[in-house]
Structure 1
Amino acid sequence: MVSTKPLAAGKPLAEGLPLPQRYGAILTIAIGIMMAVLDGAIANVALPTIAQDLHASAASSIWIVNAYQIAIVISLLSLSFLGDMIGYRRVYQWGLVVFTLTSLFCALSYSLEMLTFARVLQGFGGAALMSVNTALIRLIYPARHLGRGMGINSFIVAVSSAAGPTIAAAILSVTNWQWLFLINVPPGLVALVLALRFLPPNPQKAMQQRFDLPSAVMNALTFGLLITALSGFAQGQPRSWVLAELAALLVVGVVFVRRQLRLPVPLLPIDLLRIPLFSLSIGTSVCSFCAQMLAMVSLPFFLQTVLGRSEVETGLLLTPWPLATMVMAPLAGHLIERVHAGLLGAAGLAIMACGLFALALLPQNPTDADIIWRMVLCGAGFGLFQSPNNHTIISSAPRQRSGGASGMLGTARLLGQSSGAALVALMFNQFAGAGTHASLLLAGGLATLAAIISGLRVTQPRVA
């Protein structure tokens, strides 16, 4: 029988949790990250229905999605810093409480303003889950098997991303949109019970850390302005407004970074970015997610407007990418125990680049098979890269700074995705009828750049 007593705070967890407890802990992480990732995409499908029901315009209903994403971006690093201070388990447990309660709040909302506010609060709960999930995996798994934990995490993220639209469509086919949020309540309560029983405490906390409120505010302003400027550019906001946001971003960002350089333990983990292996891994992450988003946002336009595929056919043709990632991520998690992450990442990104260039060079009237094998190539390469890269980001940081590393991992993903979406808009504006072709070529170039950066890591010593 598994003991429900938490491990002693000072007990080293280099060997991870004993097996029965490990299974309960990783199940807790899987449920939490699944809910947080699903809610980033599940509302997209229902936006027209929600807008009609709440008597809102299509343009204003976009904030139902944006509010959630922006809340995550502006709070991710602050919450990961708190995880290093007070414990990853505590931040994760409170994240589950907030996410579950605000999911109920979303379902009970009767106006666009109320739902948008609820989504902001839900985003903070989701950020708490995302900010420390990989730091917790580092405590759950022995160092020699950490790659397996990262592989499971990547698998869950890929499954959730792929299943989001399908789950949303299934729910809407039998009931109303409120159940898109109510469905989170039962698994949220189950995850909370599991978290209270199985999640380990931090073995040691950096006692010299102090939460710096001005840094948290400047962090929120810096990343909030960056995301809103990118989103505004993508949505065709007036150029003067976008330039004003960028100017404010520059001023706040410079003050923010200068303040971080003076702090012994900065909220923006500049101390970790000084570690070559860590900074190179963050760079490859930003480039790879930017490349992925360039492809996944631009391809539906090509499939529907140029090839005349239906929405259902488009969804099915895009699915092989996340399915291939699901297959490769756990395999890559095992390979990291024997092969250098830099080499695995370079190989995966090179395969992804080949798939992206192959998509850009599709024949004029491609068959479904022509599209599918190229999507599989992209997804397999991305899956081969992602787990080892996440493993390296977490394990190259000192153990007491795992929260900061986990926060940077999530921030790199969101920055890459936001930049990719903005670049699609730029490609479509600059290359009118060939926007998708230009986006795919740029994506292939970014994946190639990421492969080169990843290859540079081979000169760095392997991390345990």
Structure 2
Amino acid sequence: MSSSEIRVGAPQPENKAERINTVAMLALCLAATVVTLDLSLINTALPTISEAIGVSASTAIWLVTAYQISVIALLLPFAALGEIVGHKRMFVGGLMLFTASSLVAGLCSDLTWLLAARCLQGVGGAAIGSVVTALIKRCYPASQLGKGMGMYALVVGLSFTAGPTVAAGIMAISNWHCLFLVNVPVGLYCLYLTRQHVPTSDRSKGRFDVFGAALCAAMFVLLILSLTGFARVGIGWRAVMELLGALLCFALLMSHQRNHAAPMLAVDLFKRRNFALSSLTSICAFVTQGTAFVALPFMFHTFLNATPFMTGMLITPWPAVVACMAIVSGTLSDRFNPGTLCTSGLVILAVGMLSLCFLPAHVEFFDIAWRMVICGIGFGMYQAPNLKMMISSAPAHRTGSASAIVALSRLLGQSFGAVCVSLAYHLSPDRGPYVAIAIGVAAALVGAFCSAIRLTQRTPSVPADISSLAR
């Protein structure tokens, strides 16, 4: 996107309403919920889906990876395009594509069609996620903007962690096809609310940087494909070439946008020490979470003979505790150093993950539940304080790009987590879930180390509106 942007069309004043646009916020949060849920919803049903369509477990994981690749590749380009065509138009287009592709995914039982539908779901999800924050800003008066952002952060965080529980409920009364079909009525309802209540935003006259967007998308696609290749077949020439291609795209993108005041890939923000460390901490934490939420269903199904419904119930304590900790950790981050809370939370998360590798021979529900509670406490203690540190490290005029990097860090971590599970099955087909959990423990400890480095520098003061974002 060009650094010199001129607003065109009918003037659109900033939102000065004294009341929150509750109906519009409902539409935006519902859309964010279904998009985020789709990142984790089918994890619980992967063993069932793999058996139903006759593919291996490592192949079925592509249903997760394909969706994540599409979202990651297009998130930043769509954020730039949304400024030009309008945030509401981008949001509506993404929601229509997401709903239609969900219908296709729910009606087919062939791997090829499922993968194609999942890719289109990812494209629609990227369009929605790239502009939803900007639209939320139009729904809240300036004095309560932090509250709106905090609500969105809570919805996104809980939606991902609640995926296994929601999937278990759906699978208890229906089959895996309904995991996709449930998005259709929700999507249609969101479209109705959006057209009627979500406000429009200004548009930019600047040209869309097609070449830069192509480089950005190609870089992330090749990166994820290379990592997946390393996980599936080890160090092969194809995976090496894909990694080299990703590095080449990165170098070309840096050269192409070196004179941009606001580059599509916000490298200017990563020059800030706390922002870079917070982003790396976030990636590591979501690698751990992504690894767990893909590996645990296979562990419970293979070693405990758990049904999909029981698998969801076994994982439920994690999101339930995260929901409680979201409020507690947000309040604590205003009283204590957020870096200390993040570091402590990730250490607790590592302990909880490690305990899952030492389940007794005869497992009761309580044996798994208390371990999942520990994981939920650790992840919940990390999440809000890290978000606070990440957003507060960015200058005011770059908070939009910072929000995109927040989402990108989360999605990259979740994608790397799925890749780690494939790697674990490649290394040990018989003990794959346990190897994956061990990788998750290592990622949590690396994240704790990155978080601890931030403690060597005093945390800058945080404005009130940013502080409320962590809640």
Relative to the length of structure 1, the TM-score reads 0.81
Contact 2:44 2:311 in 1 (8 A): no
Structure-1 residue corresponding to 2:469: none
| Cα distance, 1:436–1:115 mapped onto 2, change above 3 Å | closer
Aligned runs of 1:294-313 on 2, under 5 Å? 294-299=291-296, 308=304, 310-311=306-307, 313=310
Structure-2 residue corresponding to 1:224: 221
Superposition deviation, residue 281 in structure 1: 2.5
Structure-1 residue corresponding to 2:349: 352
Structure-1 residue corresponding to 2:99: 100
Structure-2 residue corresponding to 1:120: 119
| Cα distance, 1:206–1:336 mapped onto 2, change above 3 Å | farther
The answer on 1:9 being equivalent to 2:9 is no
Superposition deviation, residue 355 in structure 1: 3.3
Whole-angstrom CA distance in 2 between matches of 1:49 and 1:438? 24
Structure-2 residue corresponding to 1:435: 435
Superposition deviation, residue 177 in structure 1: 4.9
The letter of the residue matching 1:83 is G
| Cα distance, 1:243–1:390 mapped onto 2, change above 3 Å | same
Whole-angstrom CA distance in 1 between matches of 2:367 and 2:453? 30
User: RMSD of aligned C-alpha atoms?
Assistant: 3.7
Superposition deviation, residue 408 in structure 1: 1.6
Structure-2 residue corresponding to 1:3: none
Superposition deviation, residue 325 in structure 1: 1.0
Structure-2 residue corresponding to 1:24: 23
The answer on 1:88 being equivalent to 2:87 is yes
Contact 1:336 1:388 in 2 (8 A): yes
Superposition deviation, residue 127 in structure 1: 0.9
Superposition deviation, residue 57 in structure 1: 4.4
Whole-angstrom CA distance in 2 between matches of 1:62 and 1:355? 24
Whole-angstrom CA distance in 2 between matches of 1:257 and 1:220? 14
Which among 286, 289, 305 is matched to residue 286 of structure 2? 289
The letter of the residue matching 1:128 is A
Contact 2:300 2:311 in 1 (8 A): yes
Superposition deviation, residue 331 in structure 1: 4.1
Contact 1:154 1:386 in 2 (8 A): no
| Cα distance, 1:297–1:102 mapped onto 2, change above 3 Å | closer
Helix, strand or coil for the counterpart of 1:270?
A: coil
Which among 247, 252, 256 is matched to residue 253 of structure 2? 256
The letter of the residue matching 2:258 is L
The letter of the residue matching 1:29 is L
Deviates more, 1:138-147 or 1:239-248: 138-147
The answer on 1:405 being equivalent to 2:402 is yes
Structure-1 residue corresponding to 2:449: 449
Whole-angstrom CA distance in 1 between matches of 2:62 and 2:423? 21
| Cα distance, 1:81–1:330 mapped onto 2, change above 3 Å | farther
Whole-angstrom CA distance in 2 between matches of 1:91 and 1:266? 20
Please list every run of 5 or more consecutive structure 2 residues that lacks an aligned counterpart in the other structure.
1-9, 467-471
Deviates more, 1:393-402 or 1:95-104: 393-402
Please list every run of 5 or more consecutive structure 1 residues that lacks an aligned counterpart in the other structure.
1-6
The letter of the residue matching 2:223 is L
Contact 1:358 1:374 in 2 (8 A): yes
Contact 1:70 1:227 in 2 (8 A): yes
Structure-1 residue corresponding to 2:159: 160
Structure-1 residue corresponding to 2:262: 265
Helix, strand or coil for the counterpart of 2:39?
A: helix
Deviates more, 1:378-387 or 1:164-173: 164-173
Superposition deviation, residue 178 in structure 1: 4.5
Helix, strand or coil for the counterpart of 1:211?
A: coil
Whole-angstrom CA distance in 2 between matches of 1:420 and 1:77? 21
Superposition deviation, residue 64 in structure 1: 4.0
Contact 2:277 2:451 in 1 (8 A): no
Structure-1 residue corresponding to 2:459: 459
Contact 1:342 1:456 in 2 (8 A): no
Aligned residues: 450
Whole-angstrom CA distance in 2 between matches of 1:395 and 1:200? 27
Whole-angstrom CA distance in 2 between matches of 1:102 and 1:129? 14
Aligned runs of 1:19-58 on 2, under 5 Å? 19-21=19-21, 23-44=22-43, 57-58=55-56
Superposition deviation, residue 326 in structure 1: 1.7
Aligned runs of 1:274-423 on 2, under 5 Å? 274-299=271-296, 308=304, 310-311=306-307, 313-333=310-330, 341-359=338-356, 368-394=365-391, 396-397=393-394, 401-423=398-420
| Cα distance, 1:419–1:69 mapped onto 2, change above 3 Å | closer
Contact 1:346 1:454 in 2 (8 A): no
Whole-angstrom CA distance in 2 between matches of 1:337 and 1:428? 42
Whole-angstrom CA distance in 2 between matches of 1:175 and 1:360? 32
Structure-2 residue corresponding to 1:189: 188
Deviates more, 1:166-175 or 1:377-386: 166-175
Relative to the length of structure 2, the TM-score reads 0.80
| Cα distance, 1:329–1:148 mapped onto 2, change above 3 Å | farther
Which among 221, 231, 241 is matched to residue 234 of structure 1? 231
The letter of the residue matching 1:10 is P
Superposition deviation, residue 72 in structure 1: 1.0
Helix, strand or coil for the counterpart of 2:233?
A: coil
Structure-1 residue corresponding to 2:72: 73
Contact 1:80 1:406 in 2 (8 A): no
Structure-1 residue corresponding to 2:3: none
Contact 1:215 1:256 in 2 (8 A): yes
Whole-angstrom CA distance in 2 between matches of 1:294 and 1:49? 19
1:295-327 Cα deviation digits (max 9, x unpaired): 444455655666x46345544332211111122
